[in-house]
A = this chain, B = another copy of it.
Amino acid sequence: MAKRTHVASDLTLEQIEQQVVLKGWVQKRRDLGGLIFVDLRDRSGIVQVVFGDNSKEALELADKIRSEYVIEVAGKVIKRDPSQVNPNIASGEIEVVADTLTIINKAKTTPFAIEDDVEVNEDLRLKYRYLDLRRPVMYDIFKMRSDVTRTIRNFLQNEDFLEVETPILTKSTPEGARDYLVPSRVHGGEFYALPQSPQLFKQLLMVGGFEKYFQIARCFRDEDLRADRQPEFTQVDIETSFMSMDEILEMNERLIQAVMKDVKGVDVQIPFKRMPYTEAMNRFGSDKPDVRFGLELVDLSDLAEKTTLKVFTGAIEDGGVVKAINFKGGADTFTRKELDELANFVAIYKAKGLAWLKVTEEGLVGPIAKFFGDEVTAALIERMDAQVGDLLLFGADKANIVHDALGALRLKLGKEHGLIDESKFEFLWIVDWPLFEYDAEEGRYYAAHHPFTRPFDEDIELMDTNPAAVRAQAYDIVLNGYELGGGSLRIFEPELQNKMFELLGFSEEEAKEQFGFLLEAFEYGVPPHGGLAFGLDRFVMLLAGRTNLRDTIAFPKTATASCLLTAAPSEVSPAQLDELSLRISATARK
């Protein structure tokens, strides 16, 4: 075989008259008046090759080639006839007249066409992932993914960060219920766990004086899978010492700015907006608001009290809220049936109904209009900035239900009615998170983030008196309505860490059992530290404008955590189980 001289996209008018050797796959063959045209595909793109009378031998052989054959072609670059120029491909102004053809490998007919916009069942794509990956659109995603990691690494290494690899075979942690376990052969009956994140190790590296750590780290979580979850995922994991929250956010803004510039050619303005958690919930009904469009939630609780509508007044009496969104110009958008469907939609989020009002020349029109007096109506119209033709949609319930329901409705309407500028990238920090979540059923507090999260210094005294009011020095980074990542400053004082465990209901023994080595480490001079982690898969998904996380993972698993290509997981031999001192329970679901 000859040495390849070029890839497809190298060939432009500059190579005219040059002899070239190309290698790749047959995308398409067309026979036309004694000539054979072949679209040769390689990783870079497509180039047109012409077989004709100049080489009878090659022409004859070209008659035998089929789609996806692997071939080698030697020939001369010539200019295409102007009428034949293809502006969609890099080599569109030239073609290669073949002197010789070598069939390197044959191919059966593929189960689906190797084309960007092929319509094919995803299971089939996953079973034949190696064919799916031949589609240029897939190559482009993985090229982007590789470019993203390149920019991230170069940025962080230029900022003096070390990339440090932390163990994959590690210890089961308290959130252990979702750990993947790995039986030990040497220590029969004992198990390693795959890390849900490198959290403990990155904190230990701070104790170890590394000061600036990062890792593009594989993490594992054995949870019940949803469409957008994978058993293994990749996170850009960062931890620093001696930096304030402002410094950490600022550095990460520059990191994201660099990625957007290098990978998308987009200039992102920094600093990003910062929005307190409660503001995000109040205005957008979400802790990861998509701020590319309005349709904000407006609080009407004070007005609702003055209506005679039982649903409204009752919600307020029960400690709930009444909020609404103004779907501008939407008064005639929906039929009565479609409005009912919207009510069904918010019911998913436990809303008991979806009250609505149309704004017309004659005033507010709708089933609930009659419960509003003139004064309330006027105040409502003013607060909702309501104009003739608008549609007002109401939620009345506990705050979290109203936020969930109207937040989801807001997104649905935004997407389905073209309110979102999809070309925009709106980054946003959500800050001032609560440190604790109260579980009313169990009557106890949980760590909203994780038990190492640092409270605001001025809130520490509230830990004893009003835990629910303690704010965490935590931050999430949100992009276009997706949580891209998050982090926090960490507790670095042993006393505060112990107090935290106490509040979370850990006995001293439990804390020691689960975090003993970390607590011990904390006695030897721990620097103030904090960090952040981005979900790389999701970031790439958003950058590539995709909606399926699996498209960003070379060999993903299905929603039941199976690999359709290799048929993993699978049974293993009794000998292997013996070596691991294990037996399968009779109850194993088969």
List residues of chain A with CB under 8 Å of any chain B CB.
Answer: 1, 3-4, 23, 25, 41-43, 68-70, 104-108, 110, 128-134, 139, 142-143, 145-147, 149-150, 153-154, 157, 160-172, 176-177, 179-194, 200-201, 204-205, 207-212, 218, 220, 222, 231-232, 234, 241-242, 244, 247, 492-493, 517, 521, 523-528, 553-555, 557, 560-563, 565-573, 575-576, 578-585, 587-590
Contacts and interface: CB of A to CB of B under 8 A. Distances in A.
Contact of A555 (B143, B201, B521): B201
Given A182-B194, A525-B105, A517 B164 contact: no
A578 B205 CA distance: 35
Contacts of A553: 165
Nearest to A25: B525
Nearest to A521: B130
A209 B139 contact: yes
26 contacts: A1-B244, A23-B241, A68-B525, A105-B527, A108-B523, A108-B524, A110-B524, A129-B204, A167-B563, A168-B232, A169-B561, A171-B566, A171-B569, A182-B182, A183-B183, A184-B569, A185-B222, A187-B561, A188-B587, A189-B571, A189-B585, A189-B589, A204-B565, A582-B585, A583-B584, A583-B585
Given A108-B523, A524-B68, A590-B189, A133 B210 contact: yes
Given A142-B164, A164-B142, A588-B188, A3 B244 contact: yes
A242 B200 CA distance: 44
Nearest to A527: B70
A217 to B, nearest CB: 10
A182 to B, nearest CB: 5
Given A107-B524, A204-B555, A204-B565, 9 more contacts: A25-B525, A43-B209, A43-B210, A130-B205, A139-B210, A150-B157, A167-B232, A188-B584, A582-B585
A560 B184 CA distance: 10
Which of A171, A190, A553 has the largest number of chain B CB atoms within 10 A?
A190
Contacts of A572: 172, 176, 181, 191
A93 B557 CA distance: 59
A555 B171 contact: no
Contacts of A164: 142, 145-146, 554
A4 B181 contact: no
A564 to B, nearest CB: 9
A492 B23 CA distance: 15
A309 to B, nearest CB: 47
Given A104-B528, A209-B43, A184 B581 contact: no
B576 A186 contact: no
B181 A131 contact: no
Nearest to A41: B209
A467 B289 CA distance: 66
Contacts of A561: 169, 184, 186-187
Contact of A208 (B129, B207, B569): B129
A170 B194 CA distance: 14
* Minimum-distance CB pairs A-B, first 5: A107-B525, A133-B208, A189-B588, A188-B588, A581-B588
Given A182-B180, A554-B164, A585-B578, A171 B568 contact: yes
Contacts of A105: 492-493, 525-528
A580 B588 CA distance: 8
A182 B181 CA distance: 6
Contact of A209 (B134, B185, B493): B134
Contacts of A110: 524
Contact of A568 (B132, B193, B563): B193
Nearest to A575: B177
A187 to B, nearest CB: 5
A237 to B, nearest CB: 13
Nearest to A106: B525
A165 B537 CA distance: 11
A557 B162 contact: no
Contacts of A107: 523-525
A524 B146 contact: no
**Chain B CB within 10 Å, residue with most, of A183, A218, A526:** A183
A201 B568 CA distance: 13
Contact of A171 (B128, B554, B567): B567
A465 B211 CA distance: 62
A493 B103 CA distance: 12
Nearest to A493: B105
Given A105-B527, A181-B572, A571-B190, A4 B165 contact: no
